[in-house]
Amino acid sequence: MRFVSPTKGVLTWDEVVTDIIDYVTSNENFSYKIIIGTDSQVREETHFVTALVVHRVGRGARYYYRRKPYEKLKSLRQRIFIEAAMSLEVASKLAQSLAERGHSELDLEIHLDIGKNGETKELIRDIVGMIVGSGFDAKIKPDSCGASTVADKYTK
């Protein structure tokens, strides 16, 4: 699993985890939020982008993303479930990697590209239930910048 950092380029999974740990331990006077969100865009194929954001609350953030092409999916419901599953996959792997390196205190939240307005409102209960049932906090629009801002930027 490879991610791209806008400042450091292409990184392996281990390099991402090391960079996250270095970032949060470099200044422990701040609190941190780790956010995972996925967005998609349909063209000839569907492009899914998962963003991993480390927010130093009150002092900016650092982020990484990965892009995965997929067959063309016209079903919005199917795309939203795949977005949630991709975010859940990254969050689970990151929680495990952080715990293995002694940093299980870092909380992760999953940002979903769904909200109370628009076509996705019927999916909120199912998608949020899937995330919360897996042990993670879930945020929806307008509080889901990881999916609706960061990941969205790289789906274009």
Segment 98-102 mean pLDDT = 96
Alpha-carbon span 19 to 97, nearest angstrom: 12
Mean pLDDT of 4-21: 97
Q: Is the pLDDT of residue 145 over 90?
A: yes
| Residues 111-123 pLDDT 10s | 999 999 999 999 9
- In DSSP terms, 37 is beta-bridged to 51, 111
Mean pLDDT (the chain) is: 95
Q: Is 77 helix (H, G, I), strand (E, B) or coil?
A: helix
What is the residue type of 71?
E
Q: What is the pTM of this model?
A: 0.95
pLDDT above 70: percentage of residues in the chain: 100
Instruction: Tell me the DSSP string of 35-69.
Output: EEEEEEEESSSEEEEEEEEEEETTS-EEEEEEEEE
CATH number assigned to the domain covering 2-153 = 3.30.420
Kindly provide the b/e burial profile for residues 39-65, where b requires at least 16 CB atoms within 10 angstroms of the residue's own CB. Answer: bbeeeeebbbbbbbbbbbeeeebbbbb
* Entry field: residues in the chain: 156
